[in-house]
Amino acid sequence: MSLKKILCQDKQTKYAEQLSNFNKIIAQQKQDKNKIYSLHEPTTACIAKGKAHKKFEFGSKVSFAVVPRVNIIVGVKIFNGNPNETTTLKPTLDNIEQISGIKFKNAIVDRGYKGKKEVNGTTIVSPKSPNQKQPYSKTTMRKKC
């Protein structure tokens, strides 16, 4: 076998994944699922925001766990695709427990985490809707969240 063929085969094996991504990009259609949006980060997903001024974002969903008042990040978990926020809570809490060895009693989340009140013994605290009338509960939730 000639040296030229060996070098060509080495380059093909070295760049096989990139060539595969190039072919997928050329062949993909507008309505296809699992499209490639970025050459340098092929796992990038299109995330629908549902807002008039900014309908889409491109990237990955990331969940941060921060200790309140101190603002120390104790865990970060990245999710491929565009999963619903309610499905990201359990893996994030498991990741924190695995890294720190601590199981938290409470988790304060935003309004995107609807539905669950408890996950693996951790109580989920989320702010109520902004139309609450009682000033006491409004200030209490504001202090918690």
Q: Give the contacts of 77 (CB within 8 A, at least 6 positions apart).
A: 62, 63, 88, 91, 92, 95
**pLDDT of the residue at 116:** 74
Residue range 12-22: mean pLDDT, rounded? 81
Between CA 29 and CA 64 the distance in angstroms is 34
Q: What is the pLDDT of residues 94-125, one digit of tens each?
A: 888 888 887 888 888 877 777 777 777 888 88
Q: Work out the pLDDT band at 3, boundaries 50, 70, 90.
A: low
Q: Work out the pLDDT band at 6, boundaries 50, 70, 90.
A: low
Task: Catalogue the long-range contacts made by 113-116 (C-beta closer than 8 Å, 24 or more residues apart).
Answer: 113/85, 113/86, 113/89, 114/86, 115/86, 116/86, 116/89
Q: Give the contacts of 132 (CB within 8 A, at least 6 positions apart).
A: 138, 141
Q: Work out the pLDDT band at 136, boundaries 50, 70, 90.
A: low
Beta-bridged to residue 61, according to DSSP, are: 79
**pLDDT of the residue at 37:** 80
Q: Is the pTM of this model over 0.75?
A: no
Q: Work out the pLDDT band at 1, boundaries 50, 70, 90.
A: low
CB 91 within 8 A of CB 83: no
